[in-house]
Amino acid sequence: DQQVKQNSPSLSVQEGRISILNCDYTNSMFDYFLWYKKYPAEGPTFLISISSIKDKNEDGRFTVFLNKSAKHLSLHIVPSQPGDSAVYFCAASGGGNEKLTFGTGTRLTIIP
Amino acid sequence: EAGVAQSPRYKIIEKRQSVAFWCNPISGHATLYWYQQILGQGPKLLIQFQNNGVVDDSQLPKDRFSAERLKGVDSTLKIQPAKLEDSAVYLCASSLDRLAGAWDTQYFGPGTRLTVL
């Protein structure tokens, strides 16, 4: 039972344009959501997070949107840069169970 | 500030052999996690320690996997005997103090890639 889903295994975006990565979840007890970025041969690196009491959180070029009714969140990167090429994981936590549940990841490629 | 250290980075063994991974968390971090990441999947939590006590090991296959965190600092994860399906990247992460009430970012090490033949 996959509780956090990233349905797009890969995404290619032109440099300077907006990258939008999507994530859906099924567990209504999740109340905290995170995005991690992973380069090859490295561990995941925390990027940005959002609590369920908010619907938007922004940090520089990165913005996460949360739609609780649709159980959907998205990560926007504007403008996209070549260094953003990586695998992005969505993760969620909550319901008294504080462990992170990860999605399967989306490989983002920024085309120069 | 030094990050989470893991060793070895790569390990190849035959099925039924045993293997051990080592993790040194960020200094001062009370909580330590071991994750298993199978190719094409996201990381899955195996075990979580708070200092040297186990907080969650519900997804640890206890018939073959064991982990310890002596003195609340370094940790080792052992597999004995290994199966083909144990081929994965084993990630260690640490956070400052998970039970403090506020969310603490988990910082990941580079992982150990295990191949079981």
State pLDDT tens for residues A31-47: 999 999 999 989 999 99
Q: Do A104 and B93 touch (CB under 8 A)?
A: no
Q: Do A43 and B111 touch (CB under 8 A)?
A: yes
Residue A51 CA: distances (Å) to CA of A30, A33, A58, A72: 9, 6, 12, 13
* CA A31 distance to own-chain centroid: 15
| pLDDT for position B96 | 84
pLDDT confidence band for B98 (50 / 70 / 90): low
Share of chain B above pLDDT 90, in %: 76
Q: Which residues of B touch A100 (CB under 8 A)?
A: 43, 45, 106
Q: Which residues of A touch B42 (CB under 8 A)?
A: 4, 89, 91, 101-105
Q: Do A45 and B108 touch (CB under 8 A)?
A: yes
Structure token digits, residue A21: 């990565």
Nearest by CB: A98 against B4, B98, B109: B98
